[in-house]
Structure 1
């Protein structure tokens, strides 16, 4: 597994890599994780189940990602791949530079590569155009891609120009045993709306603030509990202070993943105002805790939960308010599912062993692929339309040959034997 995003950083990608790795280890596979250093955490660490993590001594360049040099880490990555007898390189997240670098190096070494895309991108703004072109270049020789929703698959096929038959849909999962309902934690005298999200623009914080400003004066018994932090925190603080909503809006700040469940069980309704989302883990965790979910109808969200568990709205204030009001009316009338029944349904729909089984099918499929010679690989990279990228790939190949002369594989094997 290769990605810039891994523990101690928290998020959907980190949790996906960790849980998938643990389940693969239980199934008898050997799994290692390659990521960059986090503060003083550099070198090799072992996590639960013997999961080996390489925190490479590479500095973060921007937004938890390393600088895309493509060549500076070749010797180190090659040593790890050979040292650990890797057969498949599985990269995660389109934003992760390290995932793409390790995948390309692995491909030049004759290994099989898989890429999992966790996000949706647009096609118009400059950052999206550049990211899409970079993704297209890096996925030219990828054996198979995995997306977390059918909407995500369509998005990846269009923006990265990957052939549809090389893309599979395998959703995320949630450990429903960790997100067990506890109705006794709810306040019966008020309706509590819980929001757990990174407070960034794409999570719809502007909509969130407008909904709070609209509903709090009209519903005295309405309470908001907001967990999460980010650059848009100031907007919620401003609404809370200027409007005098201190009694009905609670800002918890950044939450550890172990604290999310204890926050969710205090609520009756979970609100998600995302503007774009490939697959929203938060709404699945909330449904597992028995909350009514109100969410914007964007990206892959309509695919995630059945209609009995979610109220889908348009990404505007009036529609979101209407959805919350419908949820409040159903709660007051008692027209809701049993929280424990919701947990059982989520347990059947999304579990990590099922995700692992489906991922193993992808691994078995790509292991049958024949390796291409360098000429055919360069021809594939040429299809991206970026001619200078051929020079980069050629330079990476020459550096790998040079490193092969200096650090021969038999020396790595001897080191492994001595270590064992």
Structure 2
């Protein structure tokens, strides 16, 4: 692998470990696989508690925890320009070639892409969620996304439904958007050694207990299923503002012995909870992909899920039962899943998941997107401003003003602290070793040819 084909990627998002979720897992596993492929991957996020500064994770993955505190829902306060000096320093120090932002709701992601484009770096954006078009929050977020993606080189969505949603919300040309699904670490999520008896059927729910994840649906579905089937028990893992409603439901219907409330489940313990059940229940009201379904299927559980967003694209029909996001239809879907249980082979399901989803495959496909981004032509500010003007009669002019001010501030920083005065950090010994191995293997292939 020559230097031109070796990418140096800065992953940026407000959402990363020690916080847990689909975006956090995606960034971590994608970065680890890119490192194994011989590329350089660095993560930038905000501080979490006392975790601030530079940290190293497994595989030599470097993480910059910027000294910014979360403002709302793990997002930093929007500052537009205050993050420019530190982001510029990181980009120069790490000799970054591609900036990869994750999640439309991440303030840090939007600001990093803004500064990176000002400085002439190639930028890629991955959208992990679906948003509406009518409520005030979605209208605001869609306008911000339109601004960010007006000058992005390439974009990635985790499902075809997510791609359609992102294109409609942001106005980005569809030919710039790739669909690369999430994956699952099948080595971590394995079925139980022995198949569970179906004398008592255990339905597992692991989710944030919030409105968007359909916690209110569970309040109505669980009592009805328990009434119909005396041998069904529920395990509910997760925490959130809707947990109180579930506990009230359990008290009201006297289901303390049939509904176990585990609270927040660390990601390392998710597999042990999953393998104790037969059916995984997902009641989300909106979902771009849902990694939790992959983890459950990899553990050999039959999935019952609401038919929303990109969920129908995730699993084959014989591994999932879909329902409308209404209580009656979900109860019917659970009935169907219970009927299907005797024909489910957890080990065979696990092997199918290994062939369907893998993080190394996601990394290879993402590398192609980086290649495409680097092939995009370099343009100066005057050539890029018309893209922002098309974002709206008033918003377009405001976006142009933001970019012009950012451009002037960047040149001011260049004057007081030239890029040449910023010390570049050497690659870690592990990264150098991986690059040498890749180069050696590449040379061997060339010799054979």
TM bracket, shorter-chain basis = over 0.9
The whole-number CA distance in structure 2 between the counterparts of 1:68 and 1:379 is 24
CA-atom RMSD in angstroms: 1.4
The whole-number CA distance in structure 2 between the counterparts of 1:182 and 1:263 is 11
Aligned pairs for 1:236-315 (under 5 A) are 236-315=246-325
Post-superposition offset of 1:183: 5.6
Q: Which residue of 1 aligns with 2:383?
A: 376
Q: Which residue of 1 aligns with 2:343?
A: 335
The whole-number CA distance in structure 2 between the counterparts of 1:226 and 1:187 is 20
Q: 2:214 aligns with which of 204, 210, 219?
A: 204
Q: Deviations over 1:95-144 (max 9, x none)?
A: 00101111111111111000000000111111011100110011100001
Post-superposition offset of 1:416: 4.2
Q: Unaligned 5+ residue runs, structure 2?
A: 1-10, 430-449
More deviation, 9-18/367-376: 367-376
Contact 1:226 1:251 in 2 (8 A): yes
What is the SS of the residue equivalent to 1:54? strand
Query: What TM-score, normalized by structure 1, do the two folds share?
Result: 0.97
What is the SS of the residue equivalent to 2:401? helix
More deviation, 363-372/20-29: 363-372
Relative distance call for 1:24 and 1:143 in structure 2 (3 A) is same
Q: Unaligned 5+ residue runs, structure 1?
A: none
The whole-number CA distance in structure 1 between the counterparts of 2:198 and 2:346 is 15
What is the SS of the residue equivalent to 1:22? helix
Aligned pairs for 1:380-399 (under 5 A) are 380-385=387-392, 386=395, 387-399=397-409
Q: 1:353 aligns with which of 350, 357, 360?
A: 360
Contact 2:124 2:153 in 1 (8 A): yes
Post-superposition offset of 1:169: 0.1
More deviation, 40-49/209-218: 209-218
1:91 lines up with 2:96 in the alignment: no
1:122 lines up with 2:129 in the alignment: no
Contact 1:185 1:265 in 2 (8 A): no
What is the SS of the residue equivalent to 2:318? coil
The whole-number CA distance in structure 2 between the counterparts of 1:131 and 1:226 is 32
What is the SS of the residue equivalent to 2:230? coil
The whole-number CA distance in structure 2 between the counterparts of 1:384 and 1:38 is 35
What is the SS of the residue equivalent to 1:308? helix
Post-superposition offset of 1:306: 0.3
Post-superposition offset of 1:60: 1.2
Query: What TM-score, normalized by structure 2, do the two folds share?
Result: 0.90
Q: Deviations over 1:12-70 (max 9, x none)?
A: 00000000000000011111111000011110000011111000011211110011111
1:364 lines up with 2:374 in the alignment: no
Contact 2:185 2:359 in 1 (8 A): yes
Relative distance call for 1:234 and 1:185 in structure 2 (3 A) is farther
Aligned pairs for 1:168-179 (under 5 A) are 168-179=178-189
The whole-number CA distance in structure 1 between the counterparts of 2:221 and 2:80 is 45
